[in-house]
Amino acid sequence: MKFNHITVAGSGVLGSQIAFQTAYKGYPVSVYDINDEALEKAKDRIREWMPYYKEDLGATDEQLDEAFNRMSFHSDLAEAVKDADLVIEAVPERTDIKTDFYEKLARVAPEKTIFASNSSTLLPSQFAEVTGRPEKYLHLHFANEIWKNNTAEVMGHPGTDRQVFNDVVEFAKSIGMVALPLKKEQPGYILNSLLVPFLNAAQALLANDVADAETIDKTWMLATGAPNGPFAILDIVGLTTAYNIIQAKAQATHDPDAQRIADMLQNEYIDKGKLGRASGEGFYKYPDPAFRDPGFLKS
Ligand code: NAD
Protein backbone atom coordinates (compact mmCIF):
# COMPACT_ATOMS: atom_id res chain seq x y z
CA MET A 1 0.00 0.00 0.00
CA LYS A 2 1.25 3.47 -0.84
CA PHE A 3 0.93 5.95 2.01
CA ASN A 4 -0.57 9.36 1.26
CA HIS A 5 -0.47 11.15 4.58
CA ILE A 6 1.96 10.83 7.47
CA THR A 7 1.66 12.04 11.08
CA VAL A 8 4.69 12.46 13.31
CA ALA A 9 3.92 12.53 17.05
CA GLY A 10 6.51 14.20 19.28
CA SER A 11 8.42 16.98 17.54
CA GLY A 12 11.67 17.07 19.52
CA VAL A 13 15.19 16.29 18.26
CA LEU A 14 14.18 13.28 16.16
CA GLY A 15 10.49 13.94 15.54
CA SER A 16 11.21 17.32 13.94
CA GLN A 17 13.80 15.70 11.66
CA ILE A 18 11.53 12.79 10.65
CA ALA A 19 8.68 15.19 9.93
CA PHE A 20 10.79 17.54 7.83
CA GLN A 21 12.55 14.76 5.89
CA THR A 22 9.16 13.19 5.09
CA ALA A 23 7.77 16.53 3.92
CA TYR A 24 10.96 17.22 1.94
CA LYS A 25 10.33 13.98 0.05
CA GLY A 26 6.86 15.16 -0.92
CA TYR A 27 4.43 13.82 1.69
CA PRO A 28 1.89 15.98 3.51
CA VAL A 29 2.86 15.69 7.18
CA SER A 30 0.89 16.49 10.33
CA VAL A 31 3.08 17.18 13.34
CA TYR A 32 1.61 16.51 16.79
CA ASP A 33 2.98 17.67 20.15
CA ILE A 34 1.52 18.32 23.59
CA ASN A 35 1.06 22.08 23.33
CA ASP A 36 1.61 25.12 21.14
CA GLU A 37 4.86 26.00 22.87
CA ALA A 38 6.35 22.61 21.91
CA LEU A 39 5.10 23.09 18.35
CA GLU A 40 6.68 26.55 18.10
CA LYS A 41 9.95 25.01 19.29
CA ALA A 42 9.59 22.37 16.58
CA LYS A 43 9.20 25.05 13.91
CA ASP A 44 12.39 26.73 15.17
CA ARG A 45 14.19 23.37 15.12
CA ILE A 46 13.07 22.69 11.56
CA ARG A 47 14.40 26.09 10.47
CA GLU A 48 17.69 25.08 12.06
CA TRP A 49 17.82 21.89 9.94
CA MET A 50 17.32 23.82 6.69
CA PRO A 51 20.91 25.08 6.25
CA TYR A 52 22.07 21.47 6.54
CA TYR A 53 19.75 20.47 3.69
CA LYS A 54 21.34 23.21 1.59
CA GLU A 55 24.88 22.33 2.57
CA ASP A 56 24.65 18.54 2.56
CA LEU A 57 22.00 17.91 -0.13
CA GLY A 58 22.15 21.07 -2.26
CA ALA A 59 18.50 21.86 -1.47
CA THR A 60 17.15 25.18 -2.75
CA ASP A 61 15.16 27.75 -0.73
CA GLU A 62 12.16 26.96 -2.89
CA GLN A 63 12.35 23.22 -2.10
CA LEU A 64 12.74 23.94 1.60
CA ASP A 65 9.78 26.35 1.62
CA GLU A 66 7.65 23.82 -0.25
CA ALA A 67 8.58 21.13 2.27
CA PHE A 68 7.70 23.41 5.18
CA ASN A 69 4.38 24.28 3.56
CA ARG A 70 3.50 20.59 3.30
CA MET A 71 3.59 20.43 7.10
CA SER A 72 0.77 21.26 9.51
CA PHE A 73 1.11 21.55 13.28
CA HIS A 74 -1.41 20.27 15.84
CA SER A 75 -1.84 19.99 19.59
CA ASP A 76 -5.13 18.10 19.12
CA LEU A 77 -4.33 14.42 18.57
CA ALA A 78 -7.59 13.50 16.82
CA GLU A 79 -7.10 16.35 14.35
CA ALA A 80 -3.44 15.40 13.80
CA VAL A 81 -4.18 11.79 12.87
CA LYS A 82 -7.49 12.05 11.06
CA ASP A 83 -5.96 11.42 7.58
CA ALA A 84 -2.92 9.39 8.63
CA ASP A 85 -1.93 6.20 6.82
CA LEU A 86 1.07 6.03 9.13
CA VAL A 87 1.78 7.60 12.53
CA ILE A 88 5.46 7.76 13.44
CA GLU A 89 5.78 8.12 17.21
CA ALA A 90 8.81 10.02 18.56
CA VAL A 91 7.66 10.94 22.09
CA PRO A 92 10.15 10.70 24.99
CA GLU A 93 11.86 7.38 25.61
CA ARG A 94 9.75 6.47 28.67
CA THR A 95 7.49 3.44 28.84
CA ASP A 96 4.81 5.32 30.82
CA ILE A 97 4.67 8.24 28.36
CA LYS A 98 4.59 5.94 25.31
CA THR A 99 1.92 3.66 26.85
CA ASP A 100 -0.27 6.64 27.69
CA PHE A 101 0.25 8.06 24.20
CA TYR A 102 -0.76 4.77 22.49
CA GLU A 103 -3.88 4.46 24.65
CA LYS A 104 -4.98 7.91 23.51
CA LEU A 105 -3.93 7.32 19.91
CA ALA A 106 -5.83 4.01 19.71
CA ARG A 107 -9.03 5.87 20.64
CA VAL A 108 -8.80 8.50 17.88
CA ALA A 109 -6.85 7.04 14.93
CA PRO A 110 -8.69 5.69 11.88
CA GLU A 111 -8.76 1.90 11.61
CA LYS A 112 -6.45 1.88 8.57
CA THR A 113 -3.64 3.74 10.35
CA ILE A 114 -0.35 1.93 10.92
CA PHE A 115 1.61 2.93 14.04
CA ALA A 116 5.43 2.93 14.01
CA SER A 117 7.66 3.88 16.91
CA ASN A 118 11.06 5.50 16.60
CA SER A 119 11.98 4.21 20.09
CA SER A 120 15.71 3.59 20.47
CA THR A 121 15.71 1.06 23.29
CA LEU A 122 12.22 -0.41 23.76
CA LEU A 123 10.62 -3.38 21.96
CA PRO A 124 7.47 -3.42 19.81
CA SER A 125 6.05 -6.37 21.80
CA GLN A 126 5.97 -4.06 24.89
CA PHE A 127 3.35 -1.81 23.26
CA ALA A 128 1.67 -4.09 20.67
CA GLU A 129 -1.43 -4.80 22.78
CA VAL A 130 -1.97 -1.25 24.04
CA THR A 131 -2.08 0.04 20.46
CA GLY A 132 -5.28 -1.98 19.97
CA ARG A 133 -3.97 -3.06 16.54
CA PRO A 134 -0.93 -5.28 17.12
CA GLU A 135 -0.83 -6.44 13.48
CA LYS A 136 -0.43 -2.82 12.35
CA TYR A 137 2.31 -1.96 14.84
CA LEU A 138 6.09 -2.06 14.44
CA HIS A 139 9.19 0.04 14.98
CA LEU A 140 10.85 2.30 12.43
CA HIS A 141 14.07 3.63 13.87
CA PHE A 142 15.94 6.56 12.38
CA ALA A 143 19.34 8.00 13.21
CA ASN A 144 20.06 11.57 14.22
CA GLU A 145 20.82 13.90 11.27
CA ILE A 146 18.40 11.81 9.23
CA TRP A 147 19.03 13.70 5.97
CA LYS A 148 22.56 12.31 5.77
CA ASN A 149 22.71 9.47 8.32
CA ASN A 150 19.92 7.78 6.41
CA THR A 151 19.42 4.46 8.15
CA ALA A 152 15.90 3.19 8.85
CA GLU A 153 15.86 0.04 10.95
CA VAL A 154 12.53 -1.75 10.59
CA MET A 155 11.63 -4.16 13.39
CA GLY A 156 8.35 -5.97 13.92
CA HIS A 157 7.13 -8.12 16.79
CA PRO A 158 5.89 -11.67 16.20
CA GLY A 159 2.33 -10.41 15.52
CA THR A 160 3.22 -7.70 12.96
CA ASP A 161 1.53 -8.31 9.61
CA ARG A 162 4.10 -9.12 6.87
CA GLN A 163 2.45 -6.77 4.38
CA VAL A 164 2.47 -3.92 6.92
CA PHE A 165 6.18 -4.58 7.52
CA ASN A 166 6.90 -4.54 3.77
CA ASP A 167 4.84 -1.37 3.22
CA VAL A 168 6.82 0.42 5.93
CA VAL A 169 10.09 -0.76 4.34
CA GLU A 170 8.92 0.75 1.02
CA PHE A 171 7.85 3.98 2.76
CA ALA A 172 11.29 4.29 4.39
CA LYS A 173 12.94 3.97 0.97
CA SER A 174 10.57 6.58 -0.46
CA ILE A 175 11.81 9.19 2.02
CA GLY A 176 15.43 8.60 1.06
CA MET A 177 16.40 6.07 3.71
CA VAL A 178 18.33 2.85 3.35
CA ALA A 179 15.85 0.41 4.91
CA LEU A 180 17.45 -2.13 7.24
CA PRO A 181 14.96 -4.90 8.05
CA LEU A 182 15.56 -6.93 11.22
CA LYS A 183 14.47 -10.55 11.20
CA LYS A 184 13.45 -10.53 14.87
CA GLU A 185 13.12 -8.29 17.93
CA GLN A 186 16.43 -7.11 19.28
CA PRO A 187 16.74 -4.55 22.10
CA GLY A 188 18.61 -1.61 20.57
CA TYR A 189 18.19 -2.92 17.01
CA ILE A 190 21.52 -3.20 15.18
CA LEU A 191 22.81 0.34 15.67
CA ASN A 192 22.20 0.75 19.39
CA SER A 193 23.32 -2.81 20.15
CA LEU A 194 26.67 -1.38 19.06
CA LEU A 195 26.38 2.29 20.06
CA VAL A 196 24.87 2.24 23.59
CA PRO A 197 27.54 0.02 25.19
CA PHE A 198 30.17 2.18 23.47
CA LEU A 199 28.72 5.46 24.81
CA ASN A 200 28.21 3.95 28.28
CA ALA A 201 31.86 2.84 28.35
CA ALA A 202 32.98 6.37 27.45
CA GLN A 203 30.72 7.96 30.10
CA ALA A 204 31.99 5.50 32.73
CA LEU A 205 35.55 6.58 31.97
CA LEU A 206 34.51 10.21 32.53
CA ALA A 207 32.30 9.59 35.61
CA ASN A 208 35.06 7.50 37.22
CA ASP A 209 37.54 10.32 36.50
CA VAL A 210 39.82 8.15 34.38
CA ALA A 211 40.19 10.86 31.71
CA ASP A 212 38.39 13.99 30.54
CA ALA A 213 35.88 14.03 27.66
CA GLU A 214 38.27 15.60 25.14
CA THR A 215 41.02 13.06 25.86
CA ILE A 216 38.57 10.17 25.50
CA ASP A 217 37.26 11.54 22.18
CA LYS A 218 40.79 12.19 20.90
CA THR A 219 41.78 8.61 21.68
CA TRP A 220 38.87 7.19 19.73
CA MET A 221 39.25 9.57 16.78
CA LEU A 222 43.01 9.11 16.43
CA ALA A 223 43.04 5.35 16.88
CA THR A 224 40.13 4.50 14.56
CA GLY A 225 40.00 7.45 12.15
CA ALA A 226 36.39 8.12 13.22
CA PRO A 227 35.20 11.71 12.56
CA ASN A 228 33.54 12.00 16.00
CA GLY A 229 34.33 10.70 19.47
CA PRO A 230 31.71 9.40 21.92
CA PHE A 231 31.15 12.78 23.63
CA ALA A 232 30.63 14.57 20.32
CA ILE A 233 28.07 11.84 19.51
CA LEU A 234 26.39 12.29 22.93
CA ASP A 235 26.04 16.02 22.25
CA ILE A 236 24.16 15.19 19.03
CA VAL A 237 21.96 12.58 20.74
CA GLY A 238 21.10 15.09 23.48
CA LEU A 239 21.95 14.64 27.15
CA THR A 240 18.33 14.23 28.26
CA THR A 241 17.92 11.14 26.08
CA ALA A 242 21.32 9.85 27.28
CA TYR A 243 20.18 10.42 30.88
CA ASN A 244 16.87 8.58 30.35
CA ILE A 245 18.71 5.57 28.92
CA ILE A 246 21.35 5.33 31.66
CA GLN A 247 18.87 6.08 34.47
CA ALA A 248 16.63 3.22 33.28
CA LYS A 249 19.69 0.95 33.31
CA ALA A 250 20.67 2.10 36.82
CA GLN A 251 17.17 1.36 38.11
CA ALA A 252 16.95 -2.02 36.39
CA THR A 253 20.42 -3.33 37.26
CA HIS A 254 21.53 -1.32 40.34
CA ASP A 255 24.85 -0.99 38.51
CA PRO A 256 26.84 1.65 40.48
CA ASP A 257 28.63 2.82 37.32
CA ALA A 258 25.27 3.51 35.64
CA GLN A 259 24.03 5.50 38.66
CA ARG A 260 27.27 7.50 38.80
CA ILE A 261 26.88 8.38 35.11
CA ALA A 262 23.22 9.37 35.58
CA ASP A 263 24.12 11.60 38.55
CA MET A 264 26.98 13.19 36.60
CA LEU A 265 24.73 13.95 33.62
CA GLN A 266 22.05 15.40 35.88
CA ASN A 267 24.22 17.48 38.23
CA GLU A 268 27.01 18.67 35.98
CA TYR A 269 25.23 19.07 32.66
CA ILE A 270 21.41 18.92 32.57
CA ASP A 271 20.87 21.06 35.71
CA LYS A 272 23.21 23.66 34.20
CA GLY A 273 21.27 23.78 30.94
CA LYS A 274 23.97 21.91 29.04
CA LEU A 275 21.72 19.61 27.04
CA GLY A 276 23.93 18.99 24.01
CA ARG A 277 24.33 20.60 20.62
CA ALA A 278 20.68 21.66 20.37
CA SER A 279 21.07 23.89 23.46
CA GLY A 280 24.43 25.36 22.35
CA GLU A 281 26.47 23.46 24.92
CA GLY A 282 26.89 19.92 26.19
CA PHE A 283 30.28 18.33 26.56
CA TYR A 284 31.42 20.87 23.95
CA LYS A 285 30.42 24.46 23.13
CA TYR A 286 28.71 25.14 19.76
CA PRO A 287 28.77 26.24 16.98
CA ASP A 288 32.57 25.78 17.04
CA PRO A 289 33.27 22.72 19.20
CA ALA A 290 36.89 22.05 20.15
CA PHE A 291 36.96 18.71 18.31
CA ARG A 292 36.51 20.53 14.98
CA ASP A 293 39.60 22.66 15.64
CA PRO A 294 42.37 21.62 13.20
CA GLY A 295 44.76 21.37 16.17
CA PHE A 296 42.52 19.07 18.24
CA LEU A 297 44.15 15.81 17.21
CA LYS A 298 47.68 17.23 17.10
CA SER A 299 48.39 17.86 20.75
P1 NAD B 1 12.97 14.88 22.69
O2 NAD B 1 12.88 14.96 24.16
O3 NAD B 1 13.87 15.78 21.93
O4 NAD B 1 11.51 15.11 22.08
C5 NAD B 1 10.34 14.52 22.59
C6 NAD B 1 9.14 15.35 22.14
O7 NAD B 1 7.96 14.67 22.56
C8 NAD B 1 9.09 16.75 22.75
O9 NAD B 1 8.80 17.68 21.72
C10 NAD B 1 7.94 16.66 23.76
O11 NAD B 1 7.23 17.89 23.91
C12 NAD B 1 7.07 15.62 23.10
N13 NAD B 1 6.15 14.92 24.01
C14 NAD B 1 6.25 14.70 25.34
N15 NAD B 1 5.17 14.00 25.78
C16 NAD B 1 4.40 13.80 24.69
C17 NAD B 1 3.14 13.16 24.50
N18 NAD B 1 2.49 12.58 25.47
N19 NAD B 1 2.64 13.17 23.24
C20 NAD B 1 3.29 13.77 22.22
N21 NAD B 1 4.48 14.37 22.35
C22 NAD B 1 5.02 14.37 23.58
O23 NAD B 1 13.28 13.35 22.36
P24 NAD B 1 14.02 12.72 21.08
O25 NAD B 1 15.46 12.66 21.32
O26 NAD B 1 13.48 13.32 19.83
O27 NAD B 1 13.50 11.21 21.20
C28 NAD B 1 12.20 10.84 20.81
C29 NAD B 1 12.18 9.36 20.46
O30 NAD B 1 13.10 9.14 19.41
C31 NAD B 1 12.61 8.48 21.62
O32 NAD B 1 11.85 7.29 21.59
C33 NAD B 1 14.07 8.19 21.31
O34 NAD B 1 14.48 6.94 21.81
C35 NAD B 1 14.04 8.16 19.80
N36 NAD B 1 15.31 8.41 19.13
C37 NAD B 1 16.12 9.45 19.54
C38 NAD B 1 17.34 9.65 18.90
C39 NAD B 1 18.27 10.78 19.28
O40 NAD B 1 19.41 10.76 18.82
N41 NAD B 1 17.83 11.77 20.05
C42 NAD B 1 17.73 8.80 17.83
C43 NAD B 1 16.86 7.79 17.42
C44 NAD B 1 15.66 7.60 18.09
120 lines ligand 1 (CB under 6 A): yes
97 lines ligand 1 (CB under 6 A): yes
The C-alpha atoms of residue 250 and residue 246 are separated, in whole angstroms, by 6
> Distance between alpha carbon 133 and the CA centroid of its chain, in Å?
23
14 lines ligand 1 (CB under 6 A): yes
Q: Pick from 17, 41, 44, 93 the residue to mutate for probing ligand 1's pocket: most ligand atoms within 8 Å of its CB.
A: 93
In ligand 1, which atom is closest to the CA atom of 241? Answer: 25
Q: If you take atom 21 of ligand 1, which residue's CA is the nearest one?
A: 10
pTM: 0.83
Backbone angles phi, psi at 120, to 5 degrees: -85, -30
The C-alpha atoms of residue 250 and residue 256 are separated, in whole angstroms, by 7
- What pLDDT is attached to residue 1? 80
- What pLDDT is attached to residue 283? 98
Residue 138 one-letter amino acid: L
SS3 130: coil
SS3 159: coil
Q: If you take atom 37 of ligand 1, which residue's CA is the nearest one?
A: 14
90 lines ligand 1 (CB under 6 A): yes
- What pLDDT is attached to residue 244? 92
- B/e letters for 255-291, b = 16+ CB within 10 Å, e = fewer, are eebbbbbbebbbeebbeeebbbbbbebbbbeeeebeb
Residues 6 or more apart whose CB falls under 8 angstroms from that of 259 comprise 250
Q: If you take atom 18 of ligand 1, which residue's CA is the nearest one?
A: 101
- What pLDDT is attached to residue 150? 97
- What pLDDT is attached to residue 151? 97
In ligand 1, which atom is closest to the CA atom of 101? Answer: 18
Quick one: which of 153, 159, 160, 162 has its CA closest to 186? 153
- What pLDDT is attached to residue 295? 95
Cis peptide before 110 (omega within 30 of 0): no
Q: Tens-digit pLDDT profile for the chain (299 aa)? A: 889 999 999 999 999 999 999 999 999 999 999 999 999 999 999 999 999 999 999 999 999 999 999 999 999 999 999 999 999 999 999 999 999 999 999 999 999 999 999 998 899 999 999 999 999 999 999 998 999 999 999 999 999 999 999 999 999 999 999 999 999 999 989 988 999 999 999 999 999 999 999 999 999 999 999 999 999 999 999 999 999 989 999 999 999 999 999 999 999 999 999 999 999 999 999 999 999 999 999 97
